[in-house]
Each structure stands twice: as C-alpha cells, then as structure tokens.
Amino acid sequence: MNKEVTPSIETDSPAEPNPRPVQAEMPFAIVQGQPITTPPKDLYIPPEALEVFLEAFEGPLDLLLYLIKKQNLDILDIPIARITNQYMTYIEMMTEMKFELAAEYLVMAAMLAEIKSRMLLPRPQEMEEEEEDPRAELVRRLQEYERYKKAAEEIDELPRLEREIRTVVVDFPWKNQDRPEPEVSLDAILKAFRDVMTRVELYTSHQIEREPLSVRERMSIVLELIKSDEFIEFSRLFKPEEGRAGVVVSLLAILELMKETLIEMVQNEPGGAIYLRAAA
Amino acid sequence: MSEPIKNIIEAAIMVADEPLSIDRLIALFKEDGGEPPERQVIRDALASLEEDYAERGIELKQVASGYRIQARQSVAKWVNRLWTERPPRYTRALLETLAIVAYRQPITRGEIESIRGVSVSSNVIRTLMEREWIKVAGHRDVPGRPAVYATTRKFLDYFNLKSLSELPTLAELRNLDDIATDLFDEPFQVIEGKKEEADQEDEEQSGKETGAEGNSEGQPSA
Amino acid sequence: MSEPIKNIIEAAIMVADEPLSIDRLIALFKEDGGEPPERQVIRDALASLEEDYAERGIELKQVASGYRIQARQSVAKWVNRLWTERPPRYTRALLETLAIVAYRQPITRGEIESIRGVSVSSNVIRTLMEREWIKVAGHRDVPGRPAVYATTRKFLDYFNLKSLSELPTLAELRNLDDIATDLFDEPFQVIEGKKEEADQEDEEQSGKETGAEGNSEGQPSA
C-alpha cells in the first residue's frame, strides 16, 4: 500500500454514473429537514451527516456496492485493501461518534479484515491453485445482492395500480337488496389501522399525535349535541355524574372541536354564560 | 395532442369513482397549454358516447353532479351473480378508512386521505354510510365546509364495543404486533393455501408457476 | 336470453372491482338453465371486446387473476389528473424484499436476510402480507420449521403482470474466474487499466457493462 486512501482525501473518483430515475424520486436522505436526492459526489461525508448517510444504505452490502460503484470499479475486480480501508473508516467514525451501528456492519468489517489478512499471507504456488480466492465469497454475495437491488428498482418502475394504471369500475345501481353484507372482524379493523399507522411512520416525517380515544369519541358526541341554528349552554355539555375524569374529557373535546373549527363559542358579557353552536 | 378528446373523456368517466361534471372534464385539458375544449365539444363527445353504448350492456347517465357510466338494468340479472357466487368482502381501503374514522373522529375526507396517503373513493364513504357505521357529524368551518365523519352507535354494536375507549391505543396496537406476528401468519397460510389450490384449476394461470421455476433454475449453484 | 353474451361480459368486467377469470365469467350464466357457454365462446367475446377497444382510451388487460378493463397508457396523462393525492411509495427495503421473494420463491426470511446482508424488519413482511403481495406458502422441513414466502396473484395484478415470467429479467451473474489474482494492493491507476481490459472481455459475454465503459473512458489515461 503506497498510498493511504481515506474517504476524505479521495479525489480521483470518476463522475457519478446516472442515478436511476426511480431513486431520484425518493429522497436519498433528509438532513436538517432538507431532502437530499443524490448521494454525495465524493467519498467524503461530513461527520454530522454520517449517520444519515449510513441510514440511506440497506446494510453493509449496499454500502460496499456504493463504494465500488462510486469509483467505477468492477465488482469482479475490487481492490479489497482499498475498499476495506474505506469501509473501515466509516465504521470507525461511526463507532467513535457512538452511533448505534447495526451488527451486520461489524460482521462485514470482520469479514473484510479476514480476507485482507488472508490475502497478505504468502502461500505456496501449488496451494494457490486449489484454494479458493478469499474474495470469491464476498464478490458472489455482492453480485447476488446487486441483481436483486436492480430488480427491485425495475419492479418499482413497472406500471402499477394507484399510479399509472387506473381500472374501469362503472356504477351498478341494480344490486340485489337481499345480498348479504360483508362480515368484518374487529381484528381486521385493528390490523388495518396498525397498517396505516406503520405506513404513516414510514412515509411521513410528522408524527400523528397521540390522543386518548375517549376524547375523540367525546368530540363526536358533543358535536352531535350541538346544532348550528341554536346555541347550547356550555355547562350543559358536562355531566357531573361522570366525575372529574369525565369533565376533563368533555373539556378537552370541546377545546379540540374549537381548534378544529367545528364549533364556535360565544360569551355576551364578561362573566356571563358561555354558549356553543356548530360552526356556521 | 394526438389522443381524441372522446377517448380521454370516456376513459376518465369510466375510471373516476364519482360522476364527472362538464367543468371537471374540461379541467382535465387545462394543463395541456392552449385553449381547453369548449363545453359544446365535450357535450358532442358525450352524445357520441351515448350512441356508442346504445346496443351495449352499459349506458351513460347524467345525474345531479355530472355524468357517470353504469351497467344497464338489462344485464343486472347476470352481473348480480358476481356477488352471490362468492361472499362479499370489504376492500383494504374501506377497512382502513373505517379504522381511521374510528380512531381520529371527527375527521374530514381530506384528512383521511392525507393519513392514508391516497385518495378515498366516494364508493368507500358511501358504503360505510349505507351500512350506518359512519355518519356526518358536522362541518368544518373552512372554505368548502367539508363534512366531518364519526362512527355511529351501530358501529359500536356491530363490533360489540361499549365505547370507543375499548379499542386498543396506538401503543397497545404496536405491542400486540410483536407478540402476535406468528399467530397472525398461521391462519393466513391455511386460507391462502386452500385458495391457491382452487385457483390452480384455472388453466389461464399456469404460466405463473413455470415462470417461477424458470427463474430459480437460472440461479448458479456457486 | 335476449342479451348478447358479450354485453354481459363487458358490463360484468366493468362493474367488478377485481379482475374476472374465465371461470368466473362462465359462472355468471350457470343459473340460466341449459348449458353455460363454452370457454371458447367467452374467449371469442373477450377478443371481440379487445377489438372494439382498439381505437379507444381503454383496453382489456389480462393479469394474473383474470381480465380487467383499464385506461390506456396513452390517456393516462389526462386521466391521472383526476387524482390529486400522490400515489403510495414503497421503501427500498420493501421493494428489495419483494423482488427477492418474487425471483427466489419459495424462500424463508433467513434466506432473504442472507441475500440482503441485513435483517428484514417485521414491518416489511407484515406490509407485504397485508397488501397480499406475498403469502406463507408452507414451511421448510428444517429445525424451527421456518415459513417460506411466495408472491400472490394480487402482486402480479397490482404490477400489471400476467405471470412471473413477465417480470424484468434478472441480471446474469458473471463468472468468478474473471477475478485477477494480484490486484490486491496495487495503486489505483494500474487497477483502472486492468479493469478496462477485463471489461472488454466481459462485453463479449454480456453487453451489460456499456454504461461503466462509457464512464471510464472519461478518465485520464495516466
């Protein structure tokens, strides 16, 4: 090794090959609220972006592929020492900065180190013929992963329902009235909701705030009591028999309804009775 | 634009899940640059479609909010058998919408859409209203005065709940999850397995299996 | 029966919210008394519909679970303006897992993980199961009896495919014998030079390296 190659001084890497269109659509990462749609142009990653950088990879194979592609190297010809050094630099930086690193990254680091040490060991000529190149397993895994990564990108580009494909569904006003209604289990509803929430967490950065269901339910009940053409007195919306908890739930529900512009509140004089009505 | 206006209008009315007014049909062409078609052009296209359908099982129907295409009563007898033949089932979109209304009520359709990340079809709302599981609970005081939906007493009765607070909280749902993954897999498999067998008889689909084999043979043994 | 079979079939496919197989189409006529139509009669009617639609904005499409009618790509630009919501997007983890299941089915979660080099989150599997794109197809007869996953017809339907063989072809694995023996620790320029030679050989085997080739030509020759 006559040249210490670290990510930060890598300047001779060739230009970035064209990113696939589908990846361009998906932000590569979000740094301080700004979406980054392309990977960094060189191998230097500012320390504050490192965690984000690593999160953008689907594991160590993906990171290795990136390091290889970034320098326009062929998978079959990867210079193990150089790639290992680059990989290790990232991992060490992560470890030093005490970021939590998926175990897979460390396993890969160990594997690379092993390959490197085996490559350094002098071997008799005849042994070399029989023994498998220690890079073979790594190269095989990289190639294997790369083809599915590519396949995933291609599947993502296929025309699909809800995006390019719209199916014809015409009205049918002549449905049999005695047709049985579909049965639904509560479990199915819960799963559906959990699924939505999972997707929301995956696809949006904002969190759905957690509100006790009792408040949401009370909001619907209060809304039902209130009509738009007449005022109802504030105090009538509370039932003392429900106790303190019930009163709090009602109050929260009313405040939330006002915030959501579903009801309005009127007070004619300071200290006077408060009236509510549905938003007109 | 090489595509005839009539083709675009027909496809749009057929895929839309609510009737389309002439204004909405004109709006489809607004981003093309240049003048959008005149109302009369749209009307002529609609009249021409009506003629095309004269001898068919479908018809163009004008309702209050616009035009829609529907099956004719003359084919209703056969089309109705689509549902007697297999028990009806609600779509994922319907279940998700119902779940969101239950947990986030009172809520507008727009808010449901922004949570789901996809539009909510009018069919789904209509079906839930017809089943009397959701109702319009009020209107939000913003432009357009959108309706807000809430679940009904009937909804609670059907699912045997005394009140909404008997539903698990978000956090509980998530925990339920980790424990129940295996439980959840099992019944799914049995049902699906049976269904697959039955479907297999359909000669149309046999290509699927050979495709899979073809691909796995392509794998090297290395 | 006064109504032509073709009219009934067209209306049924248009009304149904899922693709209809030939068997399901035949079943529509079973209660009429007498023999239901032969498969060939249904096929002829479908072919005739396809012809009718040739110059229109809609098309008859055969996907894995049957026939559906959908807007043509040529009108998609206008028709899609009906929807303002963004279509759902899927994470790379989900798409890669889906791709591996599609090409390598039946496959265990452990095998997916070993290809991807990372663990597959339960969320991904669950989302795929809930979308009914994958299902548990059985269990491998090894300790722990892990579930093996396979894709479903719904997956093919969603991606507009008739069978798995219509999926994009998986890239070839190249021969490991191409690994040069002593690239290790050589300086960068020499490696690059060797790489180009190697690429030229590769090109005879598979024309897939042209992109990389174009890029490396931009390099100074050192």
Q: A181-198 pLDDT, tens per residue?
A: 888 888 888 888 888 887
Phi, psi of C205 (to 5 degrees): -75, -45
The pLDDT confidence band at residue B173, using thresholds 50, 70 and 90, is confident
Pairwise CB contact (< 8 Å): A73 & C183: no
Coil, strand, or helix at residue A277?
strand
Q: How far is B137 from chain A (nearest CA, A)?
A: 6
Q: Both tokens of residue C145?
A: 């009896």
The C-alpha atoms of residue C165 and residue A58 are separated, in whole angstroms, by: 27
Which of A247, A262, A206, A196 is closest to B106 using CA atoms? A262
- B:149-168 residues touching chain A, CB 8 A cutoff: 150-151, 158-161, 163-165, 167-168
Contacts of A62 in chain C (CB under 8 A): 117
Model confidence over A203-223: pLDDT tens digits? 554 444 555 678 888 888 888
Beta bridge partners of residue B67, listed in sequence order = B20, B62
Residue B151: in which H helix or E strand, if any?
Answer: strand B147-151
Model confidence over A68-120: pLDDT tens digits? 888 888 888 788 888 888 888 888 887 777 777 778 888 888 888 888 887 77
How far does CA B156 lie from the centroid of its chain?
24
Contacts of B71 in chain C (CB under 8 A): 11, 14-15
Q: What is the mean pLDDT of residues C85-92?
A: 85
- A:189-248 residues touching chain B, CB 8 A cutoff: 189-197, 199-200, 203-204, 208, 210, 212-214, 216-217, 219-220, 223-224, 226, 228
* One-letter amino acid of B163: S
Query: Measured in Å, how far apart are chain C's first and last C-alpha atoms?
Result: 83
Q: Where are the beta strands (DSSP E) in chain A?
A: 29-31, 34-36, 232-233, 263-267, 274-278
Residue C119: other Cβ atoms inside 10 A: 15
Q: How far is C28 from chain B (nearest CA, A)?
A: 6
C123 has a chain A CB within 8 A of its CB? yes
Which of A203, A222, A207 is closest to A262 using CA atoms? A222
Which chains lie within 8 Å of chain A at 3 or more CB pairs, if any?
Answer: B, C
Model confidence over B92-115: pLDDT tens digits? 889 999 999 999 999 999 999 888
The C-alpha atoms of residue B97 and residue C205 are separated, in whole angstroms, by: 53
C62 has a chain A CB within 8 A of its CB? no
Q: Which residue of A has its CA nearest to C211?
A: A17
Contacts of B102 in chain A (CB under 8 A): 189, 193
Pairwise CB contact (< 8 Å): A165 & C71: yes
Q: What is the mean pLDDT of residues C57-76?
A: 96
Q: What is the mean pLDDT of residues B191-217?
A: 38
C179 has a chain B CB within 8 A of its CB? no
Residue A187: other Cβ atoms inside 10 A: 12
> Could you tell me which residue, B73 or A267, shows the higher pLDDT?
B73
Residues in chain A: 280
Q: Both tokens of residue B111?
A: 């808010």
* Domain over C89-209 is classified CATH 3.40.1160.10: no
Residue position matching structure tokens 């960094």: A40
Q: How far is C195 from chain B (nearest CA, A)?
A: 23
pLDDT above 90 (res B120): no
Query: Which class for B30: exposed (0-12), middle (13-18), buried (19 or more C-beta within 10 A)?
Result: exposed
Which of B11, B29, B201 is opposite residue C57, by nearest beta carbon?
Answer: B11
> Could you tell me which residue, B4 or B186, shows the higher pLDDT?
B4
Q: What string of DSSP letters covers chain C?
A: --S-HHHHHHHHHHH-SS-B-HHHHHHTTGGGSSPPPPHHHHHHHHHHHHHHTTTSSEEEEEETTEEEEEE-HHHHHHHGGG--SPPP---HHHHHHHHHHHHH-SEEHHHHHHHHTSPPPHHHHHHHHHTTSEEEEEE-SSTT--EEEEE-HHHHHHTT-SSGGGSPPPPPPPPGGG--TT-TT--HHHHHHHHHHHHHHHHHH-GGGHHHHHHHHTS---
- Between the CA of residue C216 and those of A8, A71, C189, what are the distances in Å? 22, 10, 12
Q: Both tokens of residue A256?
A: 């939330």
Chain region(s) in chain C for CATH 1.10.10.10: 5-82, 89-209
- C:122-141 residues touching chain B, CB 8 A cutoff: 122, 126, 129-131, 135-138
Fold category of B5-82 in CATH: Arc Repressor Mutant, subunit A (1.10.10)
The C-alpha atoms of residue B141 and residue B139 are separated, in whole angstroms, by: 6
The C-alpha atoms of residue C95 and residue C168 are separated, in whole angstroms, by: 14
Q: Both tokens of residue A212?
A: 């006790």
C48 has a chain B CB within 8 A of its CB? no
Model confidence over A241-259: pLDDT tens digits? 888 888 888 888 999 888 8
Phi, psi of A171 (to 5 degrees): -70, 155
Pairwise CB contact (< 8 Å): B88 & A171: no
Q: How far is B208 from chain C (nearest CA, A)?
A: 4
The C-alpha atoms of residue A256 and residue A57 are separated, in whole angstroms, by: 41
Q: Which of A1, A25, A161 should one mutate to test binding to chain C, selecting the residue with the greatest count of C CBs within 10 A?
A: A161
The C-alpha atoms of residue A266 and residue A231 are separated, in whole angstroms, by: 9
Task: Please check whether residue C70 is in contact with residue C59, taking contact to mean a CB–CB distance below 8 angstroms.
Answer: yes
pLDDT at C218: 37
- C:65-84 residues touching chain A, CB 8 A cutoff: 68-71, 73, 76, 79-80
Interface ipTM: 0.71
Q: How far is B193 from chain A (nearest CA, A)?
A: 20
The C-alpha atoms of residue A74 and residue C181 are separated, in whole angstroms, by: 14
pLDDT at B32: 86
The C-alpha atoms of residue C153 and residue C133 are separated, in whole angstroms, by: 7
